[in-house]
Amino acid sequence: MKVVKIYPKENLVDFGQSELLTKRFHHAMSVSDSTQEMMVEMHQDIIRYMCDSYFDDVQWILKEFIDEYHLKEEKRKALEHNLFWWKILYDTGQDPESGMTAGFIAKNYRRLMDKPFIQSWLREWDHAYPKFYYVGYKYNDGAFFVIDPLEEKKHDVIIRIPNAIPPNQGEIVMGTLIPYSQSLYSPITDFYRFDYEAREAIGGTFKYHYNRYLKLYSKAEAFIHVLSVMLQIEQLVYEKNKGMNKNESD
């Protein structure tokens, strides 16, 4: 197997002040609609900032990794973007002092200087990392829950990014979740959605491979090895099904 390494609750606030002036973000707290709108705006702004600042520098490495797996063209973009965030977050883990959000906050100092709550929320991004999830019940296209099969935890997800394609119930996806208010999460960017036909083969071997690589590597490094294995499984299932369909049509 060839694996390409890419290196590179306090719930209440004082009723006398806006949540934007509180110093810390708490995942379970409720916030106003205007604060939610600002969080969504910042979500989009930091994506643009990070892509404009770093994407061109690493795109060739991402392409080298992706080309190994002969993906369908329509799946390449989602994988590329999720790998980009893996690298950004991996680098942040290697140098926690700088943090991925430090540059963005510094660049937007005047805009954020009187909003410590938003700054605290942005710094939560530095602690995120990509994972694999099973998509459970869908409340609607933009709201559903996912299960982290490694830690056996359930997370409620709401889509906060424009033009996202919501996954289908029963799919296995890969992505990075960012905490929002009211214990909700949103993916940084569109999930990579594994083929539905490959879900059983992937789900049946996932923990074995993850536990195997966690004995040898850090969590972030183990993730990229497991992703390599899952992509190979997806490709094998696709080729097998294509061959069966061809034989049936002959």
User: What's residue 16's pLDDT?
Assistant: 33
**Is 38 or 242 the better-scoring residue by pLDDT?**
38
Instruction: Give the model confidence (pLDDT) of 216-226 as tens digits.
Output: 999 999 999 99
What does the buried/exposed string (b/e) look like for 134-153 if buried means 16 or more CB atoms within 10 Å of the residue's CB? bbeebeeeeebbbeebbeee
Q: Of the spans 29-38, 84-93, 225-234, which averages the highest pLDDT?
A: 225-234
Is the CB of residue 63 less than 8 Å from the CB of residue 80? yes
The answer, as to whether pTM is greater than 0.85, is yes
User: Looking at the predicted structure, is the pLDDT value of residue 1 above 50?
Assistant: no
Q: Which of 4-8, 45-49, 183-187, 237-241 has the lowest mean pLDDT?
A: 4-8
User: Looking at the predicted structure, is the pLDDT value of residue 5 above 60?
Assistant: no
Confidence of residue 244 (pLDDT cuts 50, 70, 90): low
Is the CB of residue 195 less than 8 Å from the CB of residue 206? no
Taken in order 140, 143, 144, 149, the sign of the CA dihedral is: positive
Instruction: Tell which residue, 4, 143, 150, 22, has the closest CA to residue 79.
Output: 4
User: Looking at the predicted structure, is the pLDDT value of residue 94 above 60?
Assistant: yes
User: Looking at the predicted structure, is the pLDDT value of residue 193 above 70?
Assistant: yes
The rounded distance, in Å, linking the Cα atoms of 5 and 16 is: 51
Close Cβ partners of 176 (under 8 Å, ≥ 6 residues apart): 82, 85, 86, 89, 128, 129, 130, 131, 187, 188, 189
Q: Which of 47-61, 102-116, 235-249 has the lowest mean pLDDT?
A: 235-249
Collapsing DSSP states into helix, strand and coil, what is residue 191? Answer: coil
Instruction: Give the model confidence (pLDDT) of 23-36 as tens digits.
Output: 788 888 888 899 99
Boundaries of every domain in the chain:
19-249
User: Looking at the predicted structure, is the pLDDT value of residue 195 above 60?
Assistant: yes
3-state secondary structure 97-151: CCCCCHHHHHHCHHHHCCCHHHHHHHHHHHHCCCEEEEEEEEEECCEEEEEECCC
User: Looking at the predicted structure, is the pLDDT value of residue 81 above 50?
Assistant: yes
User: What's the Cα-to-Cα distance from 107 to each of 48, 49, 158, rounded to whole Å?
Assistant: 13, 10, 28
The rounded distance, in Å, linking the Cα atoms of 116 and 122 is: 10
Read off the tokens for 173: 């996806």
Helices (DSSP H) in the chain: which residue ranges? 33-50, 56-67, 73-94, 102-107, 109-112, 116-124, 199-214, 219-249
User: What type of residue sits at position 220?
Assistant: A
Is the CB of residue 210 less than 8 Å from the CB of residue 202? no
